[in-house]
């Protein structure tokens, strides 16, 4: 990996002092008196005051100072253990400055002797407010790319080929240019009859596709299906499998068109242009904000994507918060002691202080590294994508250089190896301060479930994976081992902190789908292989636990719990208005909830109130 520019040193704005009775506003440790408060609020709120002075009734645009309240009851869920629900939150500029009942926040506001009334906006009957949702594991630019040619509707090889053909014929610029690379995302051989793997021949059997360079990413992101043209362009292939990867071959040893995990790197494809990056990012942000996401942990920055996001942060035009993990590439020079982390660039919108390392592959494609052979394929235990000795060394090295280390680990063997590496580092670095993460932490032995919490390792999990994988997982793992798959309750009960995500575009971006999956462990239509009570229902989370995993615990996993993740005075005003109370409605109603408004830094970024 080439050297990247050094730390972006821009600092976030300091929050204004929270309003607290008896009109004491704390800046640092020192309380300020009413006179200073009055002058400070007057100065910061001049624009709002003038707007209200010349307007009668409700302003068309939110002032820089306002309260959001429920008319009846306390419907603002703060995710603050000391004050879990309140009627109102008060925003001044970018920050939350007060919470409480309308009477209390009004009293404190008026006690500051400002010459204008606090603007109050009410949410609808039945609606609630929650902190802005954070997705702790996602792929931002890949999601945008996947929207161009989605293959998730293909229920067979032939149907998927037809989707590619229709995409080509439906885009004249692509149809007329047979050399243009065609990229799609989302095919899933486990949902096809016989779970057969696709081939390049299947693509080139279609006269419209034949001879074109086609690269199709699997749903789990761990396999590529490529056309004969791409095979030719990427030749020569190694004679055997590379470390941590598999190239599917015919009886003569020729590639058939599917590559797993590290073998995907053998494919030569054009780098995305600036226009490509912008188009992909725009598509992702539009959907994310409409679904209530205010922060996204990107599970794999390349040098190109990092530079793109840093450019937006420098311009002050990053529309959503991003926490980035820089990919570790074994074939590139070690960068942990050369590059500095990106911290609070773009007024707190961009952070990149972690490394993403792959330990193994995925369960769906059979690359997850297991202690014992696969139940449905006794010839394999999966594989590690990185030599174990190298993995131990590189984990310790990045930790020693001050980086958070986030390791993709699916299989029980891979998770054991990574936990061993983290444990070995305990005597040399401050694990608690560096907050290492197991990305996915899918299959764990009982012993290792207990170790996650004991070691202080964060389990970055994706509940939607559970309700997708449950239909084939037991066949793949067997009845005993499957009980350690997606064991969220066991992890939590053993002291682990859970940061919830979706892994989009692998799963649906909607955070409410992840919330539902965590508390129901059922498909959206209420089904599971083990009946309507849920798939291993003893592993369900409570709604409060699920909400924490998408807010304050996700913030902790990105070192931002002091400024994000809960509705508390002094924190940034990131919050979401939902159409109904997901904390009390029946489980089957959760997914009928809509996002009515999304706010970042106190400003509406999707709809308003």
pLDDT in tens, 109-146: 999 876 678 899 999 999 999 999 999 999 999 999 99
Strand order of the sheet with strand 182-187? 182-187, 214-218, 223-226, 255-261, 245-249
d(CA 387, CA 369): 12
**pLDDT value at position 328?**
97
Please report the pLDDT score of residue 36 as a whole number: 36
Phi–psi pair at 323, nearest 5 degrees: -115, 120
pLDDT band at residue 220 using 50, 70 and 90 as cut-offs: confident
Q: Is the pLDDT of residue 399 over 50?
A: yes
- Output the CA–CA distances (angstroms, integers) from residue 410 to 113, 140, 465, in the order listed: 58, 21, 12
Mean pLDDT of the chain: 90
What is the mean pLDDT of the segment spanning 489-514? 98
pLDDT at 62: 79
Q: Confidence band (pLDDT; 50, 70, 90) for 427?
A: confident
- Quick: pLDDT tens for 226-283: 999 999 999 888 888 888 899 999 999 999 999 998 999 999 888 899 999 999 999 9
pLDDT of residue 32: 36
pLDDT at 41 over 90: no
Q: Is the peptide bond before 236 cis (omega within 30 degrees of 0)?
A: yes
Euclidean distance between CA atoms 538 and 488, whole angstroms = 9
- The pLDDT confidence band at residue 20, using thresholds 50, 70 and 90, is very low
**Length of the chain in terms of residues written:** 609
Cβ 14 vs Cβ 34: under 8 Å? no
The mean per-residue pLDDT over the stretch 155-184 comes to: 96
Give the pLDDT of residue 16: 59
- For residue 95, pLDDT over 90 is answered with yes
Overall average pLDDT of the 437-443 stretch: 99
Identify which has the larger pLDDT, 404 or 17.
Answer: 404
Which pLDDT score is estimated for 242? 84
CA distance 219 to 464: 13
Report residue 569 CA to chain centroid gap: 26
Adjacent-strand bridge partners of 598: 576, 606
Encode pLDDT of 286-312 as tens digits: 999 999 999 999 999 999 999 999 999
The pLDDT value given to residue 116: 72
The full set of domain ranges for the chain reads: 25-122, 140-266
Average pLDDT score over residue span 103-108: 95
Work out the number of other CB atoms within 10 angstroms of the CB of residue 552.
Answer: 24
Give the model's pLDDT for residue 18: 55
Q: Report how far apart the first and last C-alpha atoms of the chain are (Å, whole number).
A: 46
Asked whether residue 40 carries a pLDDT value surpassing 60, the answer given is no
- Report whether 182 contacts 224 (CB < 8 A): no
pLDDT of 50 reads 28
Please name the fold of domain 140-266.
Answer: Diaminopimelate Epimerase; Chain A, domain 1 (3.10.310)
Report pLDDT for 241.
85
- 55 pLDDT exceeds 80? no
Q: List the beta bridge partners of residue 447.
A: none
The whole-number average pLDDT for the span 19-38 is 36
The answer on pLDDT for 548 being more than 90 is yes
């Amino acid at each position: 990996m080439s050297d990247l520019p050094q730390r972006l040193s821009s600092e976030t704005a300091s929050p204004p002092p929270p309003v607290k009775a008896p009109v004491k506003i704390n800046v640092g440790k020192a309380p300020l008196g009413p006179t200073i408060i009055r002058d400070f609020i007057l100065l910061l709120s001049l624009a709002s005051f003038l707007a209200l002075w010349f307007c009668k009734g409700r302003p068309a645009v939110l002032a820089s100072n306002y309260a959001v309240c429920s008319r009846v009851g306390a419907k603002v869920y703060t995710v603050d253990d000391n004050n879990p629900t309140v009627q109102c939150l008060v925003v001044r500029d970018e920050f939350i400055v007060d919470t409480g009942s309308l009477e209390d926040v009004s009293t404190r506001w008026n006690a500051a002797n400002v010459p204008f009334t606090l603007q109050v906006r009410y949410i609808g009957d039945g609606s609630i407010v929650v902190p802005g949702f954070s997705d702790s594991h996602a792929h931002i630019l890949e999601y945008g790319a996947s929207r161009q040619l989605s293959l998730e509707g293909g229920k067979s090889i032939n149907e998927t080929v037809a989707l590619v053909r229709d995409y080509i014929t439906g885009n004249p610029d692509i149809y007329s240019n047979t050399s243009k690379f065609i990229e799609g995302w989302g095919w899933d051989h486990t949902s096809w009859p016989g779970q057969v793997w696709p081939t390049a021949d299947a693509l080139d059997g279609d006269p419209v596709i034949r001879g074109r360079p086609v690269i199709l990413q699997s749903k789990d992101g761990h396999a590529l299906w490529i056309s004969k043209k791409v095979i030719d362009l990427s030749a020569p292939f190694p004679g055997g499998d590379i470390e941590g990867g598999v190239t599917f071959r015919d009886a003569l040893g020729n590639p058939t068109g599917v590559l797993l995990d590290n073998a995907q790197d053998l494919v030569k494809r054009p780098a995305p242009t600036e226009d490509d990056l912008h188009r992909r990012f725009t598509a992702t942000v539009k959907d994310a904000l409409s679904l209530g996401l205010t922060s996204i942990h990107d599970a794999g920055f390349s040098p190109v994507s990092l530079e793109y996001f840093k450019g937006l942060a420098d311009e002050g035009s990053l529309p959503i918060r991003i926490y980035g993990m820089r990919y570790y590439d074994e074939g590139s020079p070690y960068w942990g002691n050369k590059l500095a982390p990106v911290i609070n660039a773009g007024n707190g919108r961009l952070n990149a202080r972690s490394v993403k390392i792959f330990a193994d592959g995925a369960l769906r494609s059979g690359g997850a590294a297991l202690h014992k052979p696969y139940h449905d394929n006794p010839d394999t235990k999966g594989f590690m994508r990185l030599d174990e000795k190298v993995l131990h060394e590189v984990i310790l090295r990045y930790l020693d250089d001050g980086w958070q280390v986030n390791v993709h680990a699916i299989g029980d063997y891979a998770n054991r190896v990574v936990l061993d590496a983290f444990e070995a580092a305990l005597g040399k670095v401050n694990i608690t301060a560096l907050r290492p993460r197991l990305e996915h932490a899918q299959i764990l032995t009982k012993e290792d479930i207990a170790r996650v919490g004991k070691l202080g390792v964060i389990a970055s999990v994706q509940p939607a994976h559970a309700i997708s994988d449950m239909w084939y997982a037991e066949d793949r793992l067997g009845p005993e081992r499957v009980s350690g798959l997606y064991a969220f309750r066991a992890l939590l009960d053993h002291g682990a902190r859970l940061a919830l995500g979706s892994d989009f575009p692998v799963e649906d971006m909607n955070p409410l789908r992840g919330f539902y999956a965590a508390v129901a462990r059922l498909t959206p239509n209420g089904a599971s292989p083990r009946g309507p009570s849920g798939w291993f229902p003893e592993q369900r989370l409570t709604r409060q636990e699920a909400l924490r995993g998408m807010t304050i615990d996700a913030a902790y996993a990105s070192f931002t719990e002091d400024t994000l993740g809960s509705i508390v005075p002094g924190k940034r005003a990131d919050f979401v208005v939902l159409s109904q109370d997901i904390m009390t409605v029946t489980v089957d109603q959760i997914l009928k909830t809509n996002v009515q408004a999304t706010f970042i830094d106190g400003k509406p970024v999707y709809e308003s109130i």
